[in-house]
Amino acid sequence: MTLPKASVFIAVSVDGFIAREDGGLDWLDQANEANPPGEDCGYGAFMRTIDTLVMGRLTFETVRDFRPWPYEGKRVVVLATKPVSIPPELSSSVFTLAGTPAEILSTLGGQGAKHVYVDGGETIRRFLWAGLVGRMILTRIPVLLGRGRPLFGAVPEDIWLKRVESRAYPNGYTQDCYEVLS
């Protein structure tokens, strides 16, 4: 069986953080208020290419109360070894799984997944280190947070990337799309 394609699309501060130490995203909400109406930096187009999201429990706990639900029409898989509180209105599209990244992608491929959006710092790192992420789209927000939850941190070995596209936005965002080579 062929594993589904796995991609990352995430915003990061210039100093490499994806959230505050407490998981707060207020800085990202503030930055997005500066976006011109209708500008989503390619997120909508990216979402149209994926059928399944995989995220960790902490990421799910951050987004589960977002209304409207930003992942409408997509299957959301929460990686967890402990019980996860899933709101009843999401119970038909949100599921939990446990296992290694390869086991997760194999299971999802067996269920028909073709393109998986990997989200959340720890989950991204685990899939990247397992060599399962094919493409990463990183949008740098022009803010220095000083501390918080890093996107990458230490890696077990060099991971080579090939930048395939770069964009600059009028609001100061820059976005790089990388193919993961190793």
- Supply the pTM of this predicted model: 0.94
| Mean per-residue pLDDT pooled into runs of 10, the chain (182 residues) | 92 96 92 88 96 95 90 96 92 95 97 97 95 98 96 91 96 96 85
Domain 5-180 has CATH 1.20.120.420: no
What pLDDT shows up at residue 1? 66
Task: Report the pLDDT value the prediction gives residue 105, as an integer from 0 to 100.
Answer: 97
**Gap between the Cα atoms of 24 and 181, Å rounded:** 32
pLDDT at 8: 98
Provide the residue ranges of all domains of the chain, joining segments of one domain with +: 5-180
CA distance 174 to 6: 22
CA distances from 160 to 55, 116, 135, 180, 181 (A): 23, 21, 12, 6, 5
Which pLDDT value is given to residue 7?
98
Taking alpha carbons only, the member of 154, 108, 143, 150 closest to residue 31 is: 143
Q: Hey, what are 93's tokens? A: 């599209």
